[in-house]
Chains A and B, each alone.
Chain A
Amino acid sequence: MSDKSNSKMKSQVSSTTRRGALKTLALGAGAASLPMWARYAQASTSEPIKIGFQVHRTGIGAAYGRWYGRTTEAAVKLINEGGGINGRMVEIVAEDDGTDPKRGAEVVEKFANQHGCDVGFGTLFSHVVIGSSPRAGELKLPYFVVSEGHHVASGMLNRYTLQPGITDVKSQVQAMAPFVAENLGKKVTMIFPDFAFGHDHRDFFTAAIEAQGGEVLEHIAIPPAETSFTKYFPKIPRETEVLYHVMVGPAVLTFVKELGEFFGPSRPEIFGFIDSLEAVDIASPGLEYLEGTYFWEGNPRNAQEDQSAHDKFYREAVGVDARGASVNDPSDVSTYAHMFGCWETMHVIKAGMEAANYQGIGDRAALIEAVEAMGEMPESQAHPQGAKLFNGKTHQVFGHQYISKVEDGALKVVHKTSIEDGMYPDEVDYTTQGF
């Protein structure tokens, strides 16, 4: 064969492969997209109830998203084993929102208009909730968030957005103040990140501690993306009795280490929110300085001596050991203080649908009205974190909070607040809004 024909053949082989690969890719993408182009058809009653799960699989919320996913799967498994909801199985339609409000809103549209979901569920990060909620309201999709943000109860959102499975930050912070003032001290210095989440803590805790006869001596706001904190510590007044910290993000390890270097053994009492250490082993090297300090926990990570049967059942169902880590991988620590919200919200959806005799998307308004009417939720398998009280006007649930002390690298509960400790006057009445 001549060189010319050889090169021609090579060229043909090469171009065929390239085109073939592209064609295969195009065909694959087309085939994969086919079901997504199909128009939504009204579900018949034998079809499963579809719950659109807006999950932070990627982005800053990924660690939370992983555990929110596991908890949700466990709750759905239990519900389906018990016969589903109104005789229909529950199907989770999970979509990654990248922990991004723009994508979050698109995902909500996809749930409502593409997948034909009955409800949307499971969002954690506040900016995603706030970015998605307007679209949920416009699309008339009941949107059950598990965010702990004050955005629902503040009146910023709409009648279609509810938070029945986890308390909000205002309630949590307010409930901490009596314990802090009575047991740790009344002169507080606050260290918080200089963005909305930190500002909520600053505003709500300052008001709450003043109501207890205490005062905040200094507010120290840490700019976002800060990597070293040493220069902020000299701002802590000498007479500080309690250092209140709520740091989030990976810088928390540096924060704790530098705090230890600054204070040494003669430190004030330290009280923090576990949010920064969710999915982080409290016995990690570098966190030794937290020994003897206090944390807010939404739900105690370590199984306590007086663990309830409901917590035991829930813990096993999700696959979490007594230390709060995955039973399959002890280094995979859960987001135990928050993820119960998914379990409980899923059970609230079940209870609401059963109360409303929910049959299809035409009953969405009835579902919301049924949830609004719920009120008391006793501690049970459906509510393993504790009893709750749902405020139908503000669409926000209120519940117990836990304060734990770090002892021997474990979190030991030293105080459980009452539901009333976290209650505050209504700021909105969503029931006055139409459907």
Chain B
Amino acid sequence: MSGAGRIWGLHLGLIAVLFALQFLLPAYHHGNLARIMVLASYAVGYNILFGYTGLLSLGHALFFAAGMYGMGLGIQHGGLSPAPALVLGIGAGAVVSLALGLLALRTSGVAFMIVTLMFAQAGYLTILYFGEYTRGDEGFVIQSAQRVLWGIDLSEPSNRYFAALVLFAACLLLSLWLIRRPFGRTLIAIRENEERVRMLGYDTQAHKLGAMVISGTISAAAGAFYGLLFGYAGASFGAVPHSILPLLYVLLGGAGTILGPFMGALFMFYLIDLSSGVTTAHMLIAGVALVLLTLFAPQGIMGELRRRAFGWLP
């Protein structure tokens, strides 16, 4: 099999497996996997900026919340049906990430982390400030009747699973395609040595801005789908811990690998789910797992697999 065939085969194979699991999993894990696929899509967006471009953002909850509230407020106050509401949410994420990119990309390194963190916090406080519309910290319910997309009831488990799969497959394949294009290769080059890329005549600023917008828009799509599939929009999705979440997923799964975000989200979700049944210190267990992984597999699960055995993994 050619290199490209092997790569596309692996990723399409994962999507096929996820499709098949829909019919095999018990109800609880079926529901969990739908949630994990949406969270993994969020991490796929994050990975484009952090894993491939080397920009560590601490403010991605802003994009997730932009998508969630763009969609949710469109339905709640604009009376939109789910399809245009989803477009509105994704569009809101694109606009917010463009605006933040234009401002935050004037900085780099630690300053970039702080600026993104501060803007995300400002976004969170904005949600609280406009509590009359957003219901502030309490959030609001998107009723089942408002979640019928083209006649498909998204509150029904198999429809929800399929919608999550469509989102995840689109994000995964988009990121795979992007990284194999010259644009994606330039992002990787920027991550490795930005000075050299600039010296070679590339407009690194424009590439980083492009990565920011793509990353933010994918994260917003995940936010919009999350609200629509699980029927709730709330300010906690715009808070700082929700910005850390995709970073953890990507670090665990393998930064700069296409499958890393999914593996990280899957691993982290079940780690917390299983450990919370045993102890209240479940975040401590998550922390210990992260330390162990950093010690023994610093490149994350997929990164380590690539280093040890499968050098062809994108």
Query: A residues touching B (Cβ–Cβ < 8 Å)?
Result: 18, 22, 25, 29, 32-33, 36-37, 39-40, 57-58, 95-96, 100-102, 105-106, 109-110, 112-114, 126-127, 130-131, 133-135, 137-138, 149, 151, 156-158, 194-197, 199, 223-224
Contacts and interface: CB of A to CB of B under 8 A. Distances in A.
Nearest to B160: A138
B137 A127 contact: yes
A374 B236 CA distance: 36
Contacts of B141: 130, 133-134, 156-157
Contacts of A101: 139, 232, 234, 236
Contacts of B235: 127
Contacts of A135: 230-231
A95 B277 contact: yes
B134 to A, nearest CB: 9
Given A95-B277, A194-B129, A114 B236 contact: no
Contacts of A36: 273-274, 277
B107 interface: no
Contacts of B230: 105, 134-135
Interface string B19-39: 000000011110110010000
27 contacts: A29-B274, A32-B277, A40-B26, A95-B277, A105-B232, A106-B32, A113-B27, A113-B28, A113-B31, A127-B137, A127-B234, A130-B135, A130-B138, A134-B141, A134-B230, A135-B231, A137-B144, A138-B144, A138-B231, A195-B137, A196-B131, A196-B136, A197-B137, A199-B131, A199-B132, A223-B125, A224-B128
The interface residues of chain A, by DSSP majority, are classed as helix
Contact of A130 (B128, B234, B292): B234
A57 B144 CA distance: 30
B144 A131 contact: no
B309 interface: no
A36 B29 CA distance: 10
Contacts, number: 111
Given A110-B28, A195-B131, A196-B131, A149 B138 contact: yes
Contacts of B137: 127, 195-197, 224
Contacts of A106: 32, 35, 273
Contact of B280 (A33, A96, A157): A96
Contacts of B135: 130, 196
Interface string B129-155: 101100111111111100000000001
Contacts of A29: 274
Interface string B223-251: 00000001110111100000000000000
Given A106-B273, A113-B28, A130-B140, A194 B231 contact: no
Contacts of A158: 144
B28 A109 contact: yes
Nearest to A156: B141
B108 interface: no
Contacts of A105: 230, 232
Contacts of B294: none
